[in-house]
Amino acid sequence: MIVTDSEHRISDICAEWRAEGLSVGFVPTMGAFHRGHLSLVEIAVASSDRVVVSIFVNPMQFGPDEDLDRYPRNLEKDCKSVEELGASVVFTPRTDVVYPDGFSTGVYVAGMSEGLCGAARPGHFDGVTTVCAVLFGIVRPDLAVFGMKDAQQLAVIRRMVSDLRMGIDIVAAPIVREFDGLAMSSRNQYLSVEEREQACFISIGLEMALVLFRMGERNCEVLRNAFLSKLEDAPLLKVQYVETVDPDTMLGVEQVEKQVLLAVAVFAGKTRLIDNILIELEV
């Protein structure tokens, strides 16, 4: 496996693969891999002839009071993990490679970037779409894999790729959870013992809403309140938002008619955790 921070080298490698008729899969990440990240790589390896994994902690998607400086980093371990899964190249660009002197372009996806995490973290998705557009331009993949845990990010990236005719197949990977249901996240390591014990109530609350739906409930306010009621048992958790939205547009929905995404953001102490569950009628 090749590890490189050179934009020109990664572009040349991918161009050679394409010239040979090989498909290129891509997994853009910020590193600090857990099993959730590795599941994305597994999907890319199974779906492509060659796979590029990028590791870049993108400063453009962090707010001024967020954890850019302390975001977990473990490049050596990350590279070893993806090599064992069959990745071909790990691309580790420096900030001045991604955003060279004079860089002045941003990518903004209107509407679906503005609610949920977009409202809570102004400018976050502009940073996500801009860095992904840059990385897509360097790698030029046939497909890219993103996790469903960041459902709003997935929808925003799909819209960007469609609107800008990038010709990339965006593949969604299921949420990977801990033994007690907590969605895997690089930030879970920030949790204290007590916070970690209570964090599992997030997924329990989502499952409670799903159970109500399966019993016939279609009113989204009732489903949201079911989630909130469960978190009353976890005093260390503070809800930032709980919303029911269309999974493709991220617009609010008040009645389950086809598919609804119940999406939440919760603080456990100072650590912000996101999760979601897809509620859909059987056809």
Question: Using one digit for the tens of pLDDT, what is the confidence trace for 107-135?
Answer: 999 999 999 999 989 999 999 999 999 99
Return the pLDDT at 73: 87
Q: Are residues 161 and 30 in the same domain?
A: yes
Q: Do residue 150 and residue 56 come from a single domain? A: yes
What total of structural domains would you count in the chain?
Answer: 2
Whether 72 shows a pLDDT value over 90: the answer reads: no
On whether both 247 and 223 belong to a single domain, the answer is: yes
Model confidence band, residue 66 (pLDDT cutoffs 50, 70, 90): confident
Q: Is residue 178 part of a domain?
A: no
- Which residues span the domain enclosing 237? 186-280
Task: Give the mean pLDDT of 246-262.
Answer: 95
Q: What is the model's pLDDT at position 175?
A: 97
Q: Does residue 22 sit in the same domain as residue 125?
A: yes
The residues that are catalytic are 37
For residue 232, pLDDT over 70 is answered with yes
Which of 173, 208, 225 is the C-terminal boundary of a domain? 173
CATH number at residue 108: 3.40.50.620
221 with 148, same domain? Answer: no
Using the 3D structure, point to which of 107, 142, 173 is the last residue of a domain: 173
Query: Which pLDDT tens digit goes with each residue over 144-160?
Result: 999 999 999 999 999 99
User: Do 140 and 206 sit in the same domain of this protein?
Assistant: no
* Whether residue 77 sits in one domain with residue 6: yes
Contact 146, 171 (CB under 8 A): yes
User: Edge-to-edge, what's the strand order for the sheet holding 237-245?
Assistant: 237-245, 259-268, 271-280
Domain termination site, one of 142, 173, 204: 173
**Nearest partner of 27 among 18, 38, 16, 19, judged by Cα:** 38
Please determine, for residue 65, whether its predicted confidence score (pLDDT) is greater than 80: no
Alpha helices (H) in 103-148, listed in sequence order = 117-120, 124-139
Is residue 39 over pLDDT 90? yes
pTM of the model: 0.94
The CATH number covering residue 223 comes to 3.30.1300.10
107, part of any domain: yes
Q: pLDDT tier at 64 (50, 70, 90 boundaries)? A: confident
Angle between helices 201-214 and 220-231 (to 10 degrees): 150
Q: How confident is the model at residue 283 (pLDDT cuts 50, 70, 90)?
A: low
In a domain, 179, yes or no: no
Considering the domain architecture, whether residues 152 and 191 belong to the same structural domain is answered as: no
pLDDT category at 29 given cuts 50, 70, 90 is very high
In a domain, 121, yes or no: yes
Confidence tier at 68 by pLDDT (50, 70, 90): confident
